[in-house]
Amino acid sequence: MMQTITARTRKIVCLLKNYEAHAKEMQGAVPSSPEFFLKPTTSIVVHEKDGKNPIHISSISHLTQDVHHEVELGVVIGKRGKNISQQDAFSHVKGFFVALDLTARDLQNKAKKNGKPWTVAKGFDDFCPIGSEMIESTNLVQDGKLKNLTIFIKINGQVKQRGFTNDMIYNVPQAIEAISQVMTLEEDDLILTGTPEGVSQINSGDVLEFGVEDVTPTYQFNVV
C-alpha cells in the first residue's frame, strides 16, 4: 500500500528532537514548540517483500562516512488542510507506518557548527526507508488519542532503539496543527514524528530490521 501512496507523496515533513532522551543524546535543548524540516521524496525506498531491499551508502562514502539510523512512526495525510486544529487533526490522517530517517551525522554536525542548513545530511537517495504497510487510523486512534505504540530497530540482530510514542514531546495532533500553520498538508503527504534515543552508525554489510511491535511486520533492509 505504501508503494502506491508514496508515488503520490509531495513532501515529507519530519519532526526533530521530539523525544526528550534523544534531544539529550544529541546535546540539544527540548524545543518549546514543534520544530520540523523537509526530506525530498527521492529519499524514499519502500520495502519489497520479495526484494533484497538495499540501502546504498558505499556509493556516497566520498561525501559522508557517518550515516545514522533513526526509527520513527510515520503519518499519512488523508485529506488536504491548512491551519488544522488539534481537535480536527485525526480527521486529516489516513493511517500510520514505520520508517527510518537516515542522517549523515558528520555532515549534519558540520552544518550545525557553521550555522548552515543541513538538508544535505537528510536528503540522499535511500535515506527514507519505509515499511510497505499502512495501518489505518481507525485501528490505532481511540477516543481521539493514538494508542501507545512501540517502535524499534535492530542492527545485525541487536536492539538499538526501542521507544514508545507516548514519550513524544509533541503528539500527532500538535504536530499537524503546527505544520499546517506554515504549509498546506495534502493527501498522501508524510509526517515523520521523531526518533527515540539510541541512534548509531550503520555500515555496509549491516542488516536493519525495524517495525512497530504487534502492529506491523518487521521490515528488513540490507546496507550496501
What is the distance between the alpha carbons of residues 74 and 135, in angstroms, rounded to a whole number?
10
- Do 141 and 94 touch, CB atoms closer than 8 A? no
- CB burial readout 133-172, b (16+ within 10 A) else e: bbbebeebbeeeebeebbbbbbbeeeebbebebeebbbbb
What would the pLDDT profile of 188-208 be if each residue is shown by its tens digit? Answer: 999 999 999 999 999 999 999
What would the pLDDT profile of 31-51 be if each residue is shown by its tens digit? Answer: 999 999 999 999 999 999 888
Domain that holds residue 72: 2-223
Report the CATH number at residue 136.
3.90.850.10
What's the pLDDT band for 23 if we cut at 50, 70, 90? confident
| Predicted pLDDT of residue 205 | 97
What's the number of domains the chain is made of?
1
pTM: 0.96
Residue type for 28, please? G
175 phi and psi angles, rounded to 5 deg: -65, -45
Asked whether the predicted pLDDT for residue 27 surpasses 80, the reply is no
What would the pLDDT profile of 100-149 be if each residue is shown by its tens digit? Answer: 999 999 999 999 999 999 999 999 999 999 999 999 999 999 999 999 99
Distances (CA, A) of 77 to 8, 96, 104, 131, 205: 11, 9, 27, 16, 34
| Predicted pLDDT of residue 197 | 96
Q: Which residues is 72 bridged to in the sheet?
A: 99
What would the pLDDT profile of 168-184 be if each residue is shown by its tens digit? Answer: 999 999 999 999 999 99
Share of the chain above pLDDT 70, in %: 100
